Amino acid sequence: MELAKGLREIQKLEGHTDRVWSLAWNPVTGVAGIPLSFASCSGDKTVRIWEHNPSSSTSSWDCKAVLDETHTRTVRSCAWSPSGKFLATASFDATTAIWENVGGDYECVSTLEGHENEVKSVSWNPSGSLLATCGRDKTVWIWEVQPGNEFDCVAVLQGHTQDVKMVQWHPSRNLIFSCSYDNTVKIWADEGDDDDWACVQTLGETNNGHSSTVWALSFNDGGDKMVTCSDDLTLKIWGTDNEKMQSTDDFVPWRHLCTLSGYHDRTIFSVHWSRDNIIASGAADDTIRFFVENDDKDGLVDGPSYKMLLKKEKAHDMDINSVQWSPGEDRILASAADDGTIKIWALTSGRLMKEPFSLLLEQLCNCKCIFSFILVSIFGIT
């Protein structure tokens, strides 16, 4: 992979009247001619749906819908179902709303109640049959999707000792990962046929975990590595045995691989791992940083190591709460911040390297074009 040389701001999106907490790209957009689209949620109690308009003269991003008059307090988190048909929004009003997308019109079709207070995060499982929520009440709730847009709570997971900041399903396994103000990441698995969920592993300070609040986590494309970010100003990379994970239904433990420290100098609120293995992080230092695995190790390091690819200081005027890579082939990143804005970014000079033979053909074609230009310009030969 050729390393990117810079980060270009494509557009700043304004419309929210309070801090923007979270972003979620619609997973079925950006392919087969479907324009990229994402949702944003805010302290202004609304959710906005944004869509790329490539046919416009400026190739702009436009707000297509504003979802309001449902939540009565801050909307903290949003997540699309795998089909892109439903959007779940979690709010400080202690509810999670389910919105159905019908031809670009959004209708609230269900409201999930049960958490004692603020709901902080929401996540769909890979099949879209289950939804997980977490909150300030230290619990993780699992909801099963029923016919008629009904949702049944099938489990309430208790184990964290403080506010649960984020919940995330594994991309291919029936596992839930939750991170908390108690400085830990907990991994939950269904150990039976009767929704008997249990904590199967805790990643804490005693096993090279974080020493302060864990704010977010993200998986690589293969699902065998995970990155976490924290109030302790570090990013941590975790791994599991991919071969064992693929060959058994039993839980395969995760282990600490390395720690990235000395980069951000304030709380790291968000992290996201791209399909082509670039980690983006956003923090309270108003900076976005990008990391890649270091292929030039000296042989003294046991396991993978990572290096900073580039950084964008003053990416926003205030704390960056969310960074999210888009689906599709392009390296597009969206960021959201306390300044009430969303920014769309593109990595410049970044692409997957061609195979040597293809690259040689391209170089030969370029040489032929240059030679033809010289003949035409000087001698008039065509």
Beta carbons of 34 and 73 less than 8 angstroms apart = no
- Are 319 and 374 found together in one domain? no
Whether residue 194 has pLDDT greater than 80:
no
d(C-alpha 125, C-alpha 143), whole Å? 10
Beta carbons of 145 and 129 less than 8 angstroms apart = yes
Q: Please, which residues bridge with residue 147 across strands?
A: none
- Are 171 and 69 found together in one domain? yes
Whether residue 227 has pLDDT greater than 50:
yes
Virtual torsion, Cα 338, 339, 342, 344, nearest 10 deg = -110
- Are 228 and 359 found together in one domain? no
Can you tell me which residue has the tokens 């709010």? 91
Number of folded domains that form the chain: 2
- More confident of the two residues 300 and 213: 213
Q: How many CB atoms lie within 10 A of CB 91?
A: 26
| pLDDT at residue number 160 | 98
Per-residue pLDDT tens for 18-74? 999 999 999 999 998 899 999 999 999 999 999 999 887 777 999 999 999 999 999
- Are 226 and 106 found together in one domain? yes
- Are 260 and 362 found together in one domain? no
Instruction: Supply the CATH number for residue 89's domain.
Output: 2.130.10.10
- Are 372 and 319 found together in one domain? no
d(C-alpha 320, C-alpha 340), whole Å? 10
350, with CB counted inside 10 A (0-12, 13-18, 19+), is buried
- Are 126 and 90 found together in one domain? yes
Whether residue 380 has pLDDT greater than 60:
no
Averaged pLDDT of the chain? 89
Whether residue 339 has pLDDT greater than 60:
yes
5, with CB counted inside 10 A (0-12, 13-18, 19+), is exposed
User: What percentage of residues in the chain have a pLDDT greater than 90?
Assistant: 79
Per-residue pLDDT tens for 257-285? 999 999 999 999 999 999 999 999 999 99
pLDDT band at residue 243, thresholds of 50, 70 and 90?
confident
* 83-87, 135-139, 161-165, 299-303: segment of lowest average pLDDT: 299-303
- Are 334 and 375 found together in one domain? no
| pLDDT at residue number 353 | 34
- Are 150 and 230 found together in one domain? yes
- Are 191 and 111 found together in one domain? yes
- Are 243 and 382 found together in one domain? no
CA angle 189, 191, 197 (to 5 degrees): 55
pTM equals 0.89
- Are 288 and 158 found together in one domain? yes
Beta carbons of 366 and 18 less than 8 angstroms apart = no
Strand order in the sheet with 320-325: 6-13, 342-348, 332-337, 320-325
Position 169: which residue type? Answer: W
Domain that holds residue 309: 2-351
